[in-house]
Chain A
Amino acid sequence: MHNKTVAELARELDSGTVSSLELTQQLLDRIKKEDSKYNSFITVTEEQALADARAADEQRAAGNATPWTGIPFAHKDIFCTNGIRTTCGSRMLENFIPPYDATVTENFRKAGAVCLGKTNMDEFAMGSSNESSYFGAVTNPWGLDNGEKRVPGGSSGGSAAAVAARLVPAATATDTGGSIRQPAALCGITGLKPTYGRVSRYGMIAFASSLDQGGTMARTAEDNAMMLNVMAGFDPKDSTSIERDVPDYTATLNEPLKGLRIGLPKEYFSDQLSPAMEEQVRAAVREYEKLGATVKEVSLPNAKLAIAAYYVIAPAEASANLSRFDGVRYGYRCEDPKDLMDLYTRTRAEGFGNEVKRRILVGTYALSHGYYDAYYLKAQKVRRLIQQDFANAFKEVDVLMSPVSPSPAFIQGEKTNDPVTMYLEDIFTIAINLAGLPAMSVPAGFVDGLPVGLQIIGDHFAEARLLNAAHQFQQVTDWHQREPK
């Protein structure tokens, strides 16, 4: 059962070959047995899951099932869950139990899905390797057979590892600079970051508000479509969410790709990309040509500025977003503060990890007196230039394709000493967040036994087209079905 996709499980539940309770128990057992290898979960909610599974079986018996009724899955520990600890990977929230649900959480509850727990992540979603979690690093299921402990990518590394290791068929995730696509690529699964504003951010703990976007992780494009059907939509509680109809993303998966115009941004096939990686990506593009797509080279001349702009905007927004963690109303508070200043400075020094502190300090500096124009304002202008590059490209092509990461999963500890090297992991993904575009990572081969991802980028609200393109690819390839040993 653990090898089945969401779509397959939905059919099994529907036909009655398995109950949600049985399925849930099986996966909980599997998590208990296997997760010590990966550390992909921070919290497993066994009792709640079993209760929800029983309720789901009753719903189904009463004839009130949705496609998600009784399907087990997991939430990235960034989504607030009413009554269930939500840590965001931080000591700051080690014991934080929110008395409210994120809109995404609520949507899955209403759909009858069964949440098995909260997955590990880089602290406050800041990282590309899942090594900055207060609850320990996550290990990629790939490479373990060689005795290598490799990173799953980040920040949604727990979700990606859990899906790749077949602990859950699907998991929610978030993406601020590549945090869905890069771990999906490194773990050999399928992930989608929707258009900014497509999925509500309410109750999703903020890192960088103008870039954060909740999205999906599963093994197939079809399952991603099923997830997005639950998650997408306008939310009156999120001012930045978009009032726009939500299509049934599963309805267009089987559209033929004949005539699909693919653009390859030449800046994304640069020397930062290893030849072996590049060959896998180009091979995937050739598959699309066989499916009837046409391919041309395009240019994103300002893409090279994306990392620089991102490392101003994201830390600046984060520096303010994380000010609420002050030890007053919830979360960690230092022992015996001697005065107010001591309460603040020690709570935040002890409650936050190094990467989070680094980014808060960079952001504070970028916003401070005399630097606002040179950094923040300039970065917001560069952001528009980057967005215009994409807009120009989409006048000529329907989707863009590129690698997701410059290299496959690296060994744990390899990049932790140099933040800037770590930041370059996101060189192909960050511009998409700055432009607010939807993009996917689709398994597209292996290098040295490690998965390689193909990035498919669409224009705003082109999620259905991306899912269609990914699904058609998965009908003629089996990369997404490969299982780590």
Chain B
Amino acid sequence: MQWDIVIGLEIHVQLATQTKIFSGTSTAYGAEPNTQASAVDLAMPGTLPVPNENAFRYALMFGLAVNAEIGRRSVFERKNYFYPDLPKGYQTTQLDKPIVGPGYVDVDLANGETKRVRIHHAHLEEDAGKSLHEDYHGMTGIDLNRAGTPLIEVVTEPDMNSAEEAVAFARKLHSIVTSLGICDGDMSQGSMRFDVNISLKPKGSDTLGTRTETKNLNSFRFMEQAIAHEVERQMDILEDGGKIEQETRLYNGDRDESRSMRTKEEANDYRYFPCPDLLPIEIDDSFIEDARARLPELPDARKARFKGQYGLNDYDASLLSSDAKLASFFEEAAAHGKDAKLTANWIQGEFSARLKAEEKTVTESPISGAQLGDLVVRIADNTLSSAGAKKVFEALWTGNGDNVDAIIDAKGLKQVSDTGALEAMVDEVLAGMPDQVAQFQNEEDPKKRKKMLGGFMGPLMKASKGQGNPKLFNEILLKKLGG
């Protein structure tokens, strides 16, 4: 049987505010346990929440960026359940009256098509703390530093039909929130977490199947794997004539396994009701205009500009515009490097490979955009060979010098491009290799000739102390050998 896959996402986006959503406690990552948990965060008796202006501002910016209706009057509700990482015994969240209403995001797919994914709504809420399951005499340890960190939970319509589409959407969303600067986008620290709702239906059917929810996926790769895994699991059940249970599942990326999350209660009954410690929030025109004025260039607009301004092709423009930090690195480099295409190649090649190898982000790069641009200039004007360029890159990366020209001088990497001097070297080398010259001239197979030509390059580079321009050497050789 043929199946249609139906996917909807719920994405928790941690907002990059200085303080928590309801208290003036710092949200900086990585502090000692419970040192960023104040009386309000710990739900000490009598304490009360006061909402953070920036949480609303950021949520509004997100709403504007995804073409959404703005909830002019939004209300916080209490979602009641007991868990040790939830100090109040309820999560303060939004239900019927969220800050961000329906909107949409257009996603570029690998096949060149554009897919529109509708946003159902996005609401503001507080994050929970963390349970640490290392053994404390058979007990679990609770760290409440994260409790109260502002989140927006973005809920999509079930508009995606494959893992590729879901991941493309997720990447696009990541790119939007990081471009807006409302989230640091660091998925390894849990700044963005994905819940995936998946169901199958017979191909062409209008009736949605029973869905499952796979929770807390914190990388694009795990998300892709989890979807593939769940689709296969459901397909196996359905094709055996079984039924899908509506349930929440946990995916273990390291083992490519998933299991049902057991809930002790027969059904969750969250007993939502409007939080009486907080009043309705009214968003007026001036607050919306203020948020609009803060909107930076968004990925779609940036991509179009990269194509026009730098003459990049669609692929390069897409890659370099999606991440706000990478995009600004590229722009800094291109401003110095003049040759945008060559700059783009270097960023996507050597630079990205090195970041990946050392698990660094763009902002952690030891090389600045300006330095990379300077390097590109020296490649473009033939001062550096590609081997020389890699040596300069290495020196910059490891901190052995910070000025491209100074490194070239210090390491003697400047190519000799004076044709007269190069010709003299070629004459001298050829004179010392008469047999090889004769062999070359008798050879008819162009492939072999090409290989034999390479045999002269070694001695030539040696003669030029590595500084001869290989391209020019090649040209001169061919001329002299009558090639």
A interface residue numbers (CB < 8 A to B): 79-80, 86, 88, 93, 96, 98-100, 102, 201-206, 208-210, 236-240, 316-317, 319-320, 323-326, 328-330, 340-341, 344, 364, 367-369, 372, 376
17 A–B contacts, CB within 8 A, in A order: A80-B44, A88-B45, A96-B45, A100-B44, A100-B47, A202-B46, A204-B46, A205-B46, A206-B46, A209-B277, A239-B49, A240-B277, A317-B276, A328-B84, A328-B87, A329-B44, A330-B42
B48 within 8 A of A: yes
| Partner among B45, B50, B272 whose Cβ is within 8 Å of the Cβ of A239 | B50
Bound complex: CA A80 to CA B88 (Å): 17
Residues of B near A93 (CB, < 8 A) are 45
B211 within 8 A of A: no
Chain A residue nearest in CB terms to B76: A239
Q: Which of B24-83 contact A (CB under 8 A)?
A: 39, 42-51, 78, 80, 82
A237 with B48, Cβ < 8 A, contacts A323-B82, A323-B88 known: yes
Chain A residue nearest in CB terms to B90: A320
Q: Which 4 A-B pairs have the closest CB atoms?
A: A323-B89, A209-B276, A367-B271, A210-B276
Bound complex: CA A86 to CA B277 (Å): 21
How near does chain A come to B470, taking the closest CB pair, in angstroms?
70
Residues of A near B88 (CB, < 8 A) are 320, 323-324
Residues of A near B264 (CB, < 8 A) are 341
How near does chain A come to B359, taking the closest CB pair, in angstroms?
36
Chain A residue nearest in CB terms to B79: A320
Bound complex: CA A240 to CA B275 (Å): 11
Bound complex: CA A60 to CA B320 (Å): 71
Residues of A near B44 (CB, < 8 A) are 80, 98, 100, 329-330
Contact indicator A205/B45 (Cβ below 8 Å): yes
A88-B45, A323-B80 given; 10 more Cβ-contact pairs under 8 Å: A201-B48, A202-B48, A203-B47, A209-B277, A320-B89, A323-B82, A324-B43, A340-B84, A364-B271, A368-B271
Contact indicator A239/B277 (Cβ below 8 Å): yes
Chain A residue nearest in CB terms to B268: A369
Contact indicator A323/B277 (Cβ below 8 Å): no
Bound complex: CA A325 to CA B45 (Å): 9
A344 with B276, Cβ < 8 A, contacts A239-B48, A320-B89, A367-B271 known: no
Bound complex: CA A203 to CA B39 (Å): 10
Bound complex: CA A413 to CA B87 (Å): 37
B interface residue numbers (CB < 8 A to A): 39, 42-51, 78, 80, 82, 84, 87-90, 142, 264, 267, 269, 271-273, 276-279
Contact indicator A328/B271 (Cβ below 8 Å): no
A372 with B46, Cβ < 8 A, contacts A239-B278, A320-B89 known: no
Bound complex: CA A240 to CA B76 (Å): 13
Bound complex: CA A201 to CA B45 (Å): 11
| Partner among A202, A320, A325, A328 whose Cβ is within 8 Å of the Cβ of B47 | A202
- Residue pairs across A and B with CB atoms within 8 Å: the count is 102
How near does chain B come to A136, taking the closest CB pair, in angstroms?
21
How near does chain A come to B370, taking the closest CB pair, in angstroms?
45
Residues of B near A319 (CB, < 8 A) are 80, 271
| Partner among A239, A316, A326 whose Cβ is within 8 Å of the Cβ of B273 | A316
Bound complex: CA A376 to CA B273 (Å): 8
| Partner among A96, A99, A238 whose Cβ is within 8 Å of the Cβ of B48 | A238
Chain A residue nearest in CB terms to B88: A324
Residues of A near B279 (CB, < 8 A) are 239-240
Bound complex: CA A367 to CA B267 (Å): 15
Residues of A near B82 (CB, < 8 A) are 323, 326, 344
Chain A residue nearest in CB terms to B84: A328
Contact indicator A102/B277 (Cβ below 8 Å): no
Bound complex: CA A99 to CA B45 (Å): 11
A329 with B273, Cβ < 8 A, contacts A236-B50, A341-B264 known: no
How near does chain A come to B450, taking the closest CB pair, in angstroms?
74
How near does chain A come to B137, taking the closest CB pair, in angstroms?
13
Contact indicator A320/B80 (Cβ below 8 Å): yes
Residues of A near B269 (CB, < 8 A) are 368-369
| Partner among B39, B49, B84, B90 whose Cβ is within 8 Å of the Cβ of A323 | B90
How near does chain B come to A109, taking the closest CB pair, in angstroms?
16
Bound complex: CA A205 to CA B87 (Å): 15
Chain B residue nearest in CB terms to A209: B276
Residues of B near A317 (CB, < 8 A) are 276
Chain B residue nearest in CB terms to A376: B273
Bound complex: CA A324 to CA B39 (Å): 12
Contact indicator B45/A98 (Cβ below 8 Å): yes
Bound complex: CA A344 to CA B265 (Å): 14
Chain B residue nearest in CB terms to A313: B276
How near does chain A come to B466, taking the closest CB pair, in angstroms?
68
How near does chain B come to A173, taking the closest CB pair, in angstroms?
15
Contact indicator A329/B47 (Cβ below 8 Å): no
Contact indicator A328/B142 (Cβ below 8 Å): yes
Contact indicator B80/A367 (Cβ below 8 Å): yes
Bound complex: CA A223 to CA B271 (Å): 43
Chain B residue nearest in CB terms to A96: B45
Chain A residue nearest in CB terms to B50: A239
Bound complex: CA A283 to CA B264 (Å): 62
Residues of A near B87 (CB, < 8 A) are 324, 328-329
A329 with B43, Cβ < 8 A, contacts A239-B278, A323-B80 known: yes
Residues of B near A341 (CB, < 8 A) are 264
Residues of B near A206 (CB, < 8 A) are 45-46, 277
Bound complex: CA A426 to CA B48 (Å): 27
Chain B residue nearest in CB terms to A211: B276
Which one of A238, A240, A328, A367 has the highest number of Cβ atoms from chain B below 10 Å of its Cβ? A328
Residues of A near B278 (CB, < 8 A) are 239-240
Which one of B45, B87, B273 has the highest number of Cβ atoms from chain A below 10 Å of its Cβ? B45
How near does chain A come to B128, taking the closest CB pair, in angstroms?
13
Bound complex: CA A316 to CA B80 (Å): 11
Chain A residue nearest in CB terms to B274: A380
Chain B residue nearest in CB terms to A100: B39
Bound complex: CA A324 to CA B88 (Å): 4
| Partner among A102, A208, A329 whose Cβ is within 8 Å of the Cβ of B276 | A208
A372 with B273, Cβ < 8 A, contacts A98-B44, A205-B46 known: yes
Bound complex: CA A329 to CA B42 (Å): 7
Chain B residue nearest in CB terms to A327: B84
| Partner among A80, A237, A326, A367 whose Cβ is within 8 Å of the Cβ of B45 | A80
How near does chain A come to B3, taking the closest CB pair, in angstroms?
33
Bound complex: CA A365 to CA B96 (Å): 21
Bound complex: CA A368 to CA B43 (Å): 23
A367 with B273, Cβ < 8 A, contacts A324-B87, A324-B88 known: yes
Which one of A206, A323, A372 has the highest number of Cβ atoms from chain B below 10 Å of its Cβ? A323
Residues of B near A367 (CB, < 8 A) are 80, 271-273
